[in-house]
């Protein structure tokens, strides 16, 4: 699948993706769950490279939520092994792609070796000018908003800022996505029609695109279909 026909001048600035369906894909294909997650990781890698190639500026993917810790110990353990393996692959395979990478969420919950890999990837890519790839891990939007609220409350108590000066801009500056534009298009795969605690603040005026395609089957064509649907929308941002 090529990007022929896409209007690059009208690409959304920021696309968010809830990558859902790995476990159902594995079950559908008679495979263990970890192979569904492994296939999903490969699809993610391919799509990130494609988005970089077509000139997308920001891509944020929901990789591991704060609620995912509730899954079975075996599945969480497999996900941690996959995460470490994936981060090592990123260091090797993305190093020449000019992509800037950021990790959104409380990474302190991960093992020291995973935290070290995250720090290395962010440091090594901080001056890159291609696609900014945000990976949300141990991320939940409610937790993010509470964190920002506590930070601002602390600044008010210390008299660093006046409470009346807090506006949308200042609040946004205290989110994990500080400096990034709000989401223009939110894609969710797997057939569910909810946003599952993902970027509630940043998606205030996002266009939503839901597809029944399970994440491991998501392709460049699937992404292009979502972009074409986005092109057809009229965005009013609350206006007439």
Mean pLDDT of the chain: 93
> Is 113 labeled as catalytic in the residue annotation?
no
Residue 80 clears pLDDT 60, i.e. is over it: yes
Half-sphere exposure of 91 (CA within 13 A, CB side): 16
Choice among 3, 68, 128, 197 that is catalytic:
68
> Is 138 labeled as catalytic in the residue annotation?
no
Residue 1 clears pLDDT 80, i.e. is over it: no
Order across the sheet with 14-18: list the strands: 100-104, 132-139, 58-65, 14-18, 185-188, 207-210
Q: Are 3 and 221 in contact (CB under 8 A)?
A: no
Interval 150-173: pLDDT, tens = 999 999 999 999 999 999 999 999
Mean pLDDT of 65-76: 90
Mean pLDDT of 93-108: 93
What's the rounded Cα separation, in Å, for the pair 23 and 150?
Answer: 36
Mean pLDDT of 186-201: 97
What's the rounded Cα separation, in Å, for the pair 178 and 143?
Answer: 15
What's the rounded Cα separation, in Å, for the pair 183 and 59?
Answer: 9
pLDDT of residue 14: 98
9-139+183-232 has which fold?
Answer: Undecaprenyl pyrophosphate synthetase (3.40.1180)
């Amino acid at each position: 699948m090529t990007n022929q026909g896409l209007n690059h001048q009208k690409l959304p600035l920021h696309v968010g993706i809830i990558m859902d369906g790995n476990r159902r894909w594995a079950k559908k294909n008679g495979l263990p769950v970890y192979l569904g997650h492994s296939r999903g990781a490969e699809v993610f890698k391919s799509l990130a490279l494609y988005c970089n190639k077509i000139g997308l500026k920001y891509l944020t993917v929901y990789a591991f939520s704060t609620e995912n810790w509730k899954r079975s110990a075996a599945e969480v353990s497999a996900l941690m092994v996959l995460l470490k393996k994936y981060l090592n692959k990123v260091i090797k395979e993305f190093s020449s792609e000019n992509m800037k990478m950021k990790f959104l969420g409380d990474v302190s919950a991960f093992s020291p070796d995973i935290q070290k890999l995250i720090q290395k990837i962010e440091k090594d890519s901080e001056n890159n000018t291609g696609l900014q790839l945000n990976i949300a891990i141990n991320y939940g939007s409610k937790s993010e908003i509470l964190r920002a609220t506590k930070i601002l409350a602390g600044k008010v108590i210390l008299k660093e800022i006046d409470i009346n000066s807090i506006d949308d801009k200042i609040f946004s500056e205290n989110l994990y996505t500080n400096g990034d534009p709000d989401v223009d298009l939110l894609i969710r795969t797997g057939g569910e029609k909810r946003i599952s605690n993902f970027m509630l603040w940043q998606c205030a005026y996002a266009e939503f695109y839901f597809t029944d395609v399970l994440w491991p089957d998501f392709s460049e064509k699937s992404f292009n279909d979502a972009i074409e649907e986005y092109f057809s929308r009229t965005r009013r941002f609350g206006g007439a």
